[in-house]
Amino acid sequence: GERLRRMAVGKGLTIGVDATTWWNKRGFGRFTRGQLGAMLAEPRNHRFILFVDQEPDEEMIRPHVEVVRVETSVKVTESAVANGSRKLGDLLAFRRATFGRPMDIFWFPAVYSWYPINRNVPSVITFHDAIAERFTGLVLPQLRGRLFWHLKTWLAKRSALHIASVSDAARDEIVRYLHIPKEKITAILEAADARFQRVDDPRQLQAAREQLGLPLDRRLIVFVGGLAPHKNLAGLIRGFAAAVSETPAMDDVDLVLAGDPKGDGFHSNVEELHALARSAGLSSRVHFPGFVPDTILPALYSDALTVAMPAFSEGFGLPAAEAIACGTPVIATAGGAVAEVVAGAGLFFDPHNAADIARAIGLIASDKATLTLLKENCLPRSAELSWARSGSQMHDLLEACAR
């Protein structure tokens, strides 16, 4: 097998990729741009055929890349969401586009945008997590969305030669909730984009706060991500309220929940969060700045006391990797993917226990020695995560699976 693989690599493979998620604003958009972007930049000697449903990004325009634009009625980033379902005609348009081209292997960077392809071409699908299976009611509250999702994942996992995942924790969750054998799944860690570096310029830090309408004189605990029930932001607000009442050092600390309040097509519980902050008497100290553009996100991370990741489950937790790349420690759910990602650059808690969340918040707000130690661990850990390494491992996997 190894000799055949080397021969195949010698002449280079033709790798088909569903690149429609490149434009997604959430984690798997970042993932696609990071991992696929790294592979296009270091192509070995492979050819890529990218299937897209909008104008190609300039990073895709390269000598070894063919871009196939598929005309659809709705873009994938608008249709393949919690309550959406993609039109059959759009799926068939992608299927037809892939049928006409000889390929050695096909890769879907997210099961979210899966469609059926030629059965003679082996496929690898990246499953980022099994959150929709584990917390179905929180992620897919409507029956129609649920049925479409379960049908799609069932068809996708049956069709795939191999599954990629983004952490060992995600792999274990996929084994348990999607009943895929562990040996059929390879975990390849994600990384933070190169733009995430420490920002020290006080003018940039202040400008970011002003743009987001945040107070200039407070220390900030920051959450970045979807404002969705499985992210456990209600638990974070309760833990924050408990820390405020118990720890004098919390007097100058506010909480920032940054994310698109409409959820970018995913289920959101933002009204409940506002109500919870009000009932705790903390409306003035819990901020909802909305979606934070990448231009100022590194400044927001760098300026934070800590970045909080309280979700019941994360496949990887990209904001955690981005935070430590900016030198900011993380407080997060114990035993999950984020703990795996940040290692010694974080403090961990039981997400179901507000008192335990309060303990982690209070410690980071009041104990300088702990904070200093965590900060010192951020950049060395961040250096171990890179998209180049992640892309190289995906290359290896696709080569191993190619026919």
- Residue 5's pLDDT band (boundaries 50, 70, 90)? low
Q: What is the mean pLDDT of residues 89-102?
A: 91
Residue 86 pLDDT more than 80? no
Residue 239 pLDDT more than 60? yes
- Residue 84's pLDDT band (boundaries 50, 70, 90)? low
CA angle 241, 242, 248 (to 5 degrees): 95
For the record, the structure tokens of 7 come out as 């021969």
pLDDT tens digits for 39-69? 999 999 999 999 999 999 999 999 999 999 9
Query: Rounded CA gap, 231 and 243, in Å?
Result: 19
Residue 390 pLDDT more than 90? yes
Residue 329 pLDDT more than 70? yes
Q: What is the mean pLDDT of residues 105-129?
A: 95
Residue 355 pLDDT more than 80? yes
pLDDT for the residue 266: 64
pLDDT for the residue 137: 84
Q: Average per-residue pLDDT in the chain?
A: 92
Give percent of the chain with pLDDT exceeding 90. 81
pLDDT tens digits for 167-186? 999 999 999 999 999 999 99
pLDDT tens digits for 17-47? 999 999 988 788 999 999 999 999 999 999 9
pLDDT tens digits for 356-379? 999 999 999 999 999 999 999 999
pLDDT for the residue 265: 60
291 contacts: CB under 8 Å, gap ≥ 6: 25, 258, 259, 260
Judge whether 349 and 331 are in contact, CB under 8 Å: yes
pLDDT for the residue 88: 84
pLDDT for the residue 80: 54
Residue 233 pLDDT more than 80? yes
SS (H, E, C) the chain: CHHHHHHHHHHCCEEEEECHHHHCCCHHHHHHHHHHHHHHHCCCCCEEEEEECCCCCHHHCCCCEEEEECCCCCCHHHHCCCCCCCCHHHHHHHHHHHHCCCCCEEEECCHHHCCCCCCCCCEEEECCCCHHHHCHHHHCCCHHHHHHHHHHHHHHHHHCCEEEECCHHHHHHHHHHHCCCHHHEEECCCCCCCCCCCCCCHHHHHHHHHHHCCCCCCEEEEEECCCCHHHCHHHHHHHHHHHHHHCHHHHHEEEEEECCCCHHHCCCCHHHHHHHHHHCCCHHHEECCCCCCCCCHHHHHHHCCEEEECCCCCCCCHHHHHHHHCCCCEEEECCCHHHHHHHHHEEEECCCCHHHHHHHHHHHHHCHHHHHHHHHHHHHHHHCCCHHHHHHHHHHHHHHHCC
Residue 82 pLDDT more than 50? no
pTM score: 0.86
More confident residue, 319 or 86: 319
- Residue 81's pLDDT band (boundaries 50, 70, 90)? low
